[in-house]
A and B are shown apart, each in its own frame.
Chain A
Amino acid sequence: MKPIIEIKDVSFAYSKQQDVLKNVNLTIQKGEWITILGHNGSGKSTLSKLLIGLLKAKTGTIHVDGIELNEDSVYDIRKKIGIVFQNPDNQFVGVTVRDDIAFGLENLQIPREEMIERIDKFSKKVDMFEYLNKEPQQLSGGQKQRVAIAGILAMKTDVIIFDESTSMLDPKGRKKILEYMKQLNDEGTTIITITHDMKEAVSSDRVVVLKHGEILKVDTSTNILRDKTTLEQSNLELLLPLELLHYMDSNNVDHQSLKDFLWASSLNV
C-alpha cells in the first residue's frame, strides 16, 4: 500500500508562543480510517489545518500523495484533501444548498454541465437532494454538515478530514454523519476523524492519541480502546464495556464469557 499522507518531524507554534505540536510523525495509508483523539487544546485541530496548508509548519515536512506540501503545491494538495469543520454555520458559503455544493466546483473550474451532474449525484448520496433550494437558516446543524460532506465529495478528494464535525450536533445528526463516514471508508476514501468521542474511534483502523501537542501513542483501534492509562492521560474515557473489563481485570474478577461479551459489545456501540 502506498501512503497518502506522510508527516515527518512536524512542529508548530503560533508566533513565539509555546509549541502547539511537537515532533509529530505519522504515516497514513490510502483507504485507511484514522482517528485522532486528544483533550481540548491537544493540538488535534492544528494538525488538520497543517495538512491542508491553512497553517504552515515551523519545522518538518508533510507529503500528500507523494507531493511535498509547500507554498506552490498547496493548491494542488487541497484538491486531494477535503475537510468538514466543527461549526456547521461557519462553513456554509452558499446562499442555498445547491450554491454551497457548487462553491468548491466553481473554484475548481468544473464545467457547468458536469457541476449540475455532480450536485445531483452527491446531494442524493447524503440524502439532501430534496433540500437543494433550501437556505441554511431552514436546515438543522446535521443537515448543514451533510451539505458540507456533499460539497467535498463533489470535489472528489482522496481524503476527508472530519474535524470534530459531530460535536455540535444532536444524537440523530451525529449518528447519520457516522454512517456516512463508514460508508465512504468502505468505498475507498481515506478518512481522518478528529474527536474526543470514543464511539467515533471504534470503527477506525488506527487511533492516534495526542497530549499537549505530542503523539502519546499510535496503534490499532482495538489496542488503544482498552488502553486506560494512555486514554486517561489525554482526558479521555474508556467505553463503558471496556471500563468494566478493566475493572474486572484489576480486581481479579474472573468470568471469561462476561469478558468476551463485554469486548464484543464495545465494538458495536
Chain B
Amino acid sequence: MKNIVIGRYVPGKGFLYDLDPRTKLIALLVLMAATFIIDELIHMAAAILLIGVILVIGRISVKRVYLGLRPLLFLLIFTFAFQILFNTQGDLLFETPLYYSPITLGLVVVIVLIWGFTKRFIKFKLLYFLATVFLSLFVLNTFTEPLVFATGTFSIYEDALEMALFIMLRLIIIVTLSTILTITTKPTDLNLGLESVLKPLKVIRVNTEEIAMIISIALRYIPTLLDEANKIMLAQASRGVDFQEGKLKEKVMQIVSLLVPMFIISFKRSDELANAMEARSFIPGHPRTRLHLLTWKTLDTVVLVVSLTLLISSISIRVFL
C-alpha cells in the first residue's frame, strides 16, 4: 500500500522544483487548454516534443511518468477501440471482410481464453492484448469455409484513426503534465498554491480557505486510510474471507465486511480529529496567519508568459489558419 504513484511528491532538484506552485497550477491549466484547442497532428507532435523538453530540462525520469500513466492504459485502449469500431466518418482507409462461422467464433473464444489464462505471465500486457486482438481478426478474416452464417466488415476510417490518436495524445499530455506537477510540488505547497489560485472564487462566496484545509487534511490522511484499509482486509482474511474467490452473494458479504469497519473507523477518526483541531483553537472561517509563504520569482513570470503565449498562438492558429 506504500507504492501509490499518482499524487506523490518526489524530492529532487531542477527548475520545476523552483517554480512557485501557483505558476505550475496556472501553467498546467493553460497548457491543458492549449492541447484541447490545437487540431493538427503536426501541432500535437510539437506539443509532445515540448513535453519531452520539459521532462529533459526538469530532469524527471520518464519511467515515473509512465507509472503515472499506467492506470489509464485501459481507458486509452478503450477510447481507441471505441473510435475505430464506431466512428465511420472521413475517408475509408482500410476494409476487410470478416466471416462468422461456428469454427471461426470457436477459435476466437479459444484465443481469448488462452489470453485470459496466460496474460499474467506476460510482461508486456498491452502488446500481448493487441496481438490477441489482431490474431482474432486474422482468424475471422481468413477462414471462409464452411458454415458461414454471417459476414461483416472490419473497416477503419481516417477520422476514426485521427480522433483516436488525438484523444490518446491529449490524455497522455494531460496526465504527464499533472504528474510533473505532483512529482515536483510538495503537497503543502500545492495546497497553498491552489488556495491562492482559487482566491477569486471568494467573490462568489466560496470559502477557499476551507477548501484548502479539507484538501490538506485529505492529503494527510490518505496514506493512513489506505494503511487502515489494508489492515481491515488482513483482519477479515484472518477470518476466512477469501477475496480472490466467492460467488456473487459471498462477494457482496466480503465487501460489506470491509466497508462497515472502514466507515466506522473513519467516522471515529474524523470526530477525534475535529476535536483535536478545535482544541487547538481552530475556528472554521476565522482568519489565520500562515507559516508557508509563496515567493514569486522572475522564472515564474517567464514560465507564465511562455505558457500564455503558447495558448494564444494555438488559439490564433485555430482561428486564423
Query: Do A and B interact directly, with beta carbons closer than 8 Å?
Result: yes
Q: Which residues of A contact B (CB under 8 A)?
A: 49, 52, 54, 75, 78-79, 82-83, 85, 87, 89-96, 98-99, 102-112, 115-116, 119, 136-137, 151-152, 155
Which residues 216-252 of B sit at the A interface, judged by CB distance below 8 A? 216-217, 219-220, 223-224, 227
A249 to B190 CA separation, bound complex (whole angstroms): 67
- Chain A CB within 8 A of B120 CB: no
Count chain B CB atoms within 10 A of each CB in A75, A94, A107, A152 and give the residue with the most: A107
Whether the pair B220, A78 counts as a contact (CB closer than 8 A) is: no
Q: Is B281 touching A112 in the complex (CB atoms < 8 A)?
A: no
Q: Contact at B275–A49, with CB atoms within 8 Å?
A: yes
- Measured between beta carbons, the chain B residues less than 8 angstroms from A112 are 289-291, 293
A-B contact pairs, 26 of them (CB 8 A): A52-B279, A54-B278, A54-B279, A78-B278, A78-B280, A83-B279, A85-B272, A85-B279, A90-B272, A90-B273, A90-B276, A91-B272, A93-B273, A95-B187, A102-B291, A103-B277, A103-B280, A104-B280, A104-B282, A109-B287, A112-B289, A116-B291, A136-B224, A152-B280, A155-B280, A155-B281
Docked complex Cα distance between A108 and B282 (Å):
8
Pairwise interchain contact B272-A87, C-beta atoms closer than 8 A:
yes
Count residues of B near A (Cβ-Cβ below 8 Å): 30
Q: Is B260 engaged at the interface, CB distance under 8 Å to the other chain?
A: no
A49 to B272, CA, bound (A): 11
Contacts A79-B281, A85-B275, A91-B273 given; does A106 touch B290 at CB 8 Å: yes
Residues of A with C-beta under 8 A to B223: 137
* Given A103-B280, A112-B290; A95-B188 close (CB under 8 Å): yes
User: Is the C-beta of B286 less than 8 angstroms from some C-beta in chain A?
Assistant: yes
Instruction: Tell me the bound Cα distance from A87 to B276 in angstroms.
Output: 10
Task: Report A55 CB to chain B, min CB distance, Å.
Answer: 9
A89 to B278, CA, bound (A): 16
Q: Find out whether the CB atom of A90 lies under 8 angstroms from the CB atom of B288.
A: no
| Closest A-B pairs by Cβ, 8 of them | A91-B276, A90-B272, A104-B280, A102-B291, A107-B281, A106-B288, A109-B289, A107-B282
| B283, CB-defined interface residue at 8 Å | yes
Interface residue B59 (Cβ < 8 Å from any Cβ of A): no
A115 touches B280 (CB 8 A): no
- Kindly name the residue among A87, A90, A92, A104 whose own CB sees the greatest number of chain B CB atoms within 10 A: A90
With an 8 A cutoff between CB atoms, is B318 at the interface?
no
Complex alpha-carbon distance, A92 and B281, angstroms: 14
* Residues on the A chain within 8 Å of B186, using CB: 95
Partner of A151, one of B280, B286, B291, B292: B280
Within 8 Å CB of A102, what residues of B? 291
Q: How far in angstroms is the closest Cβ of chain B from A38? A: 20
Is the C-beta of B269 less than 8 angstroms from some C-beta in chain A?
A: yes
CB nearest to B282 among chain A residues: A107
Chain A residues positioned under 8 Å from B288 (CB to CB): 106-107, 109
Give residues of chain B (186-231) contacting chain A, Cβ–Cβ below 8 Å. 186-188, 216-217, 219-220, 223-224, 227
CA distance A194 to B223 in the complex (A): 30
| Shortest CB distance A143–B (Å) | 15
Question: Please, which residues of chain B bring their CB within 8 A of the CB of A99?
Answer: 188, 291-292
Bound Cα distance A38, B245 (Å): 47
Q: A96 — which chain B residues lie within 8 A by C-beta?
A: 188
A151 and B280 CA atoms in complex are apart in Å by: 9
Q: For the complex, give the distance between the alpha carbons of A79 and B217 in Å.
A: 23
CB distance from B9 to the nearest CB of A (A): 10
Bound: A105/B272 CA distance, A: 20
- The minimal Cβ–Cβ distance linking A94 to chain B, given in whole angstroms, is 7
Interchain CB contact under 8 A, A103 and B282: yes
* The one of A83, A92, A105, A155 that contacts B289, using a Cβ cutoff of 8 Å: A105
| B280/A82 in contact, CB under 8 A | yes
